Amino acid sequence: MEPQRVDLSQGGIVTVCLGRGFDVTPEFQSHPRVHFVEAHRLRPQDVRQELPPNTRAVVLTDAIPHATSQRLIEEFKRRRLLYLPRKSSDAVRDTLRMLLTHLPAADEQAEAAAAQASPAPDASSGNGNNGHSSAEASTPAAAIPTVKRAMAPRGSMPEFVKQHADLREGTAAEARRLMGIARKLSFTTTVPSLEQAIRVAKRKVGVGDRPASATPQLPRLTAIATLDEILVQAEALRKYVETTELENVQLKAKLARLTESFQHVMSTQE
C-alpha cells in the first residue's frame, strides 16, 4: 500500500519505531501528529501498550531486536495498520514529509470546523423581516467571530516540557499529568506528543524513563577507584604474608628439631 492512501486528514498520528542508532527526526520531534518510540528498548510484551490507539500508520526502522520486531508486525496486522520499513534516517524523514506535509494546518482545520458549526443565517431575516435590516442580513460570514484553537507554535513543546515536567517521574504518568496542565493553559497537544517530548528532554540530561534511574549516577573518581583497588590488593597481600609467616614458623620448628636430632646422632657416634 502506498503512503498516499493513508488518510490523516480526519485525525490520527504516525508512530515511528526507532531501532538502535536511529535518532528522533529533528524536523518532526515536536510535531503533534508524530509519535516516536524507541523500539529497540521495548520488551515484546510491552509492544501493544506503547503503540498509541490513534495510530494510523507506522514507520519501522532497522536495528530492532527480532522478537520485538515480530511482535510489532503482529500488532500492526492485528490493527490493520500500514507499516513502512525504512533503512535510514533520511528515508524516515522523507516518509514523514510525504505523509504529513499535504495536511492542512491545525488552525485552518479548527477554523473550518468552527465555520461549519456556526448557524446559517436566516434568509427570512432580510429586508426588514423580524426587525433586521438588509445591511445586517448581508453581513459576510467571515465577520461572525469564531473561537479558534491554534496549534502550539513550532518549538514551544520543549519549552512547555522544560517548564512543567518532572523528569524524575515515569514518562507515561508525567505525560498524562502535563495533559491536564495543557488543557488549563489552552495549549493544544496530545499525550503521545508529550510522551515523546519528555523522552527527548530526558535523553538530553541523561535521565532514564524509570523513576529509579531519574537521578544520574556520578562517575566514580579515578583516585577513589584506584585507592579501592589498592586496598583490595593490600588485603590479599596481608593474607599472603600471614600465611607465609606461619609457614616460616613451622619450617623453623622443623629445622630446629632436625638440627637437634642431627647433633644428637653426631654426639653418640663420638
pLDDT digits (tens, 9 = 90+) for 57-78: 999 999 999 999 999 999 999 9
Instruction: Note if the pTM is more than 0.85.
Output: no
Residue 70 lies inside a defined structural domain of this protein: yes
Q: Which of 51, 80, 100 is the last residue of a domain?
A: 100
DSSP state of 215: S
> 23: which 3 cell numbers?
535518532
Q: Which residues of 152-174 are buried (b: 16+ CB within 10 A; e: fewer)?
A: beeeebeebbeeebebebebbeb
Residue 67 lies inside a defined structural domain of this protein: yes
pLDDT of residue 4: 47
* Spacing of C-alpha 164 from chain mean position: 17
How many domains does the chain divide into? Answer: 2
Residue 11 lies inside a defined structural domain of this protein: yes
Residue 203 lies inside a defined structural domain of this protein: no
d(CA 60, CA 71): 12
Residue 54 lies inside a defined structural domain of this protein: yes
Find the helix or strand (DSSP H, E) in which 61 lies: strand 55-61
d(CA 213, CA 226): 26
d(CA 93, CA 106): 20
Residue 129 lies inside a defined structural domain of this protein: no
Q: pLDDT for 31-60, tens place per residue?
A: 888 999 999 988 999 898 888 989 999 999
Residue 147 lies inside a defined structural domain of this protein: no
pLDDT of residue 124: 43
| Domain that residue 59 falls in | 3-100
Residue with cell 459576510: 140
What is the residue-wise DSSP string for 66-130?
Answer: HHHHHHHHHHHHHTT-EEEEESSHHHHHHHHHHHHTTSPPHHHHHHHHHHHHSPPPPGGGSTTGG
Q: Which of 80, 100, 120 is the last residue of a domain?
A: 100
d(CA 127, CA 159): 54
The tens-digit pLDDT sequence of the chain (270 residues) is: 444 467 777 788 999 999 999 988 888 888 888 999 999 988 999 898 888 989 999 999 999 999 999 999 999 999 999 999 999 999 999 999 888 876 654 444 444 444 444 444 444 444 444 444 444 344 344 343 443 444 444 457 888 888 888 888 888 888 888 888 888 888 878 887 788 888 888 888 877 654 444 444 445 456 666 777 788 788 778 878 888 888 888 888 888 888 888 888 888 876
Residue 108 lies inside a defined structural domain of this protein: no
**CB-hemisphere CA count at 13 Å for 164?**
20
Residue 144: left if φ>0, alpha if ψ -120 to 50, beta else—which one? beta
Q: Which of 71, 100, 129 is the last residue of a domain?
A: 100
